[in-house]
Amino acid sequence: MRKTLLFLLLLLAGTGIRAQEEVKYSVQKIWDGGTYNAFTSLVKYKGRFYCAFREGRGHVFDEHGKAEGKIRVLSSRNGRKWTSVHLVGEPGKDYRDPKLSVTPDGRLSLSIGVSVYVDKKFITQSPYVCFSTDGEHYTQPQPCTVEGSREHTYDWVWRTTWHGGSGYAVDYFTRKDGTQGLALMQTADALHYSLLTELQVPDFPNEATIRFLSDGSMAIMVRRDGGDCMGWWAVSKAPYTEWQWKRMPMRLGGPDFLMLTDEKVVAASRCHHIPSWCTTSVYTGDARTGQFRQRIVLPSGGDTSYCGMLVEDDELWVSYYSGHATHWPSIYLARIPLKSLE
C-alpha cells in the first residue's frame, strides 16, 4: 500500500499536478437518456441556459459498426431542471462536437463537426452550422465554407468565439499529403470562414479554444497529440499573426477556458495523469506565463471531459460528460463558487 501511494505521488509530481484542494461545489447529472452522451457545450441565451452534446451508441461506432451520432440540445431556466428541445442528425453521418455561441446579430449558433465513415474507415469531415432565434427551433444544418479546404482531406473548425463583431476559430486539418496543420480563421456569420494565419504548432495540434483580454489581445489554448502531448498556450495582439507559444504543464482533451481577469484564467479539460483512468479537471492559470495548476477533479472517470463553461452570478458552471457512474456516459453540470478559485 505504501509503495502504491508513493508511486502515485511520484506520478503526480512528474506531471506537475498537485494534490486536489478542498473546494466545495455541487454536481448534478442533467441527462443520461440510455445512450452514449458526450462532447458538451454550454451557453446562456435570452435568459435561458442551453447545453448541447452528441448522442450515440459509442464513442464513434455503434454495435453495428456505424457512426451516426446526433446532436441533442437541452434547455433550462435555472440550471436545475433540464428538458430536451432539439435533436438533429441524419443517416450515414456522424454529428459530433457541437459548439453553441451567440452571434452579433442575436442568433444562437450551433456549430457541428460532421464526419462520414464507410466500413469503419474515415472518409471525410466538414464543419456544419444551424441557427435559432428562440433556442428551440433550428434551421437545417448547412455546410460551412473554409478558405483553403480544397487542399485538405478534412477540416475541423472546433469552436467560434465572438469579439468586436467578428467570430474567430481555429481550424485543424489534414493536407492531401497527410501532414497536419492549424489555422486561425475569421468569420462574420459562423458560415463562411476566411484564413487569418497558419499557426506554427507541431506534433498533431487539434482542438483549440480562443478567448479575449480586455485590450483585445487573443489567447489560444491548443491540444497536441504528438511529441510530449502537452498543451500549448499563447497570447497575441491584433492582427493576431505573431505568436510566442508556451508549453503547458498538462496534457489536454476537449479544452475550454475563460478569462476571469486579464491575468487569471480558469480552464477545464480531460486530465491524463493516470492514463488508464482519465478524469475531468478544473485548473487556474496565469495568462502571461501559461502556467496552470489543478484545482478540482470533478466526479468523473474513463471516457470523460469536453467541457462547456460560463460564469453565472458568483459561480463557474462547467458541463461535461463522464462514464464513471453509469453504463453509458452521462452529462453533468458542476457549479463552483468563484471565490473558491481565488
Which pLDDT score, from 0 to 100, does residue 30 have? 98
Mean pLDDT over residues 82-90, rounded? 98
pLDDT digits (tens, 9 = 90+) for 230-272: 999 999 999 999 999 999 999 999 999 999 999 999 999 999 8
What is the pLDDT, as a whole number, of residue 273? 75
Q: For the chain, what percent of residues have pLDDT higher than 70?
A: 94
pLDDT in the model for residue 292: 97
Region 128-147: mean pLDDT is 98
Q: Where residue 3 falls among pLDDT bands split at 50, 70, 90?
A: very low
Rounded Cα–Cα distance for residues 81 and 79 (Å): 6
Q: What percent of the chain is modeled with pLDDT above 90?
A: 89
CA distances for 75 relative to 52, 97, 200, 312, angstroms = 9, 18, 39, 15
Query: Over 80: is that where the pLDDT of 227 sits?
Result: yes
Q: What is the mean pLDDT of residues 61-76?
A: 96
140, pLDDT greater than 60: yes
Distance CA 162, CA 325 (A): 36
Total number of residues shown for the chain: 342
Is residue 44's pLDDT more than 70?
yes
Calculate mean pLDDT across residues 292-317. 96
Residue 13 has pLDDT above 50, yes or no: no
Which residue has 435559432 as its cell numbers? 132
109-132 pLDDT, tens digit per residue, is 999 999 999 999 999 999 999 999
Q: Is the model's pLDDT at 276 over the cut of 90?
A: no
**With contact defined as beta carbons under 8 Å apart, do 184 and 170 qualify?**
yes
162-183 per-position pLDDT tens digit: 999 999 999 999 999 999 999 9
Classify domain 26-341 by CATH architecture: 6 Propeller (2.120)
Q: What is the pTM of this model?
A: 0.93
Q: What is residue 17's predicted lDDT score, i.e. its pLDDT?
A: 47
Give residue 263's Cα distance to chain centre: 21
Q: Is the pLDDT of residue 19 over 50?
A: no
Cβ-proximal residues to 154 (8 Å cutoff; 6+ apart), any chain: 115, 122, 124, 125, 126, 173, 174
- Under 8 Å between Cβ of 267 and 282: yes
Residue 5: the pLDDT is: 35
Q: What is the predicted pLDDT for the residue at 21?
A: 60
pLDDT on residue 33: 85
In this predicted structure, what is the pLDDT of residue 223? 98
Q: What is the mean pLDDT of the chain?
A: 93
Local confidence band at 277 (pLDDT 50, 70, 90 cut-offs): confident
Rounded Cα distance between 215 and 29, Å, is 38
Residue 69, pLDDT > 70, answer yes
- For residue 9, pLDDT beyond 80: no
Average pLDDT over residues 172-196: 96
Instruction: Read off the pLDDT of each residue in 324-340 and give the average, rounded to a whole number.
Output: 95
Could you tell me the pLDDT band of residue 23, with boundaries at 50, 70 and 90? confident
Report the range of poorest mean pLDDT among 11-20, 143-152, 173-182, 303-312: 11-20
Which of 237, 336, 318 shows the shortest CA–CA distance to 279? 318
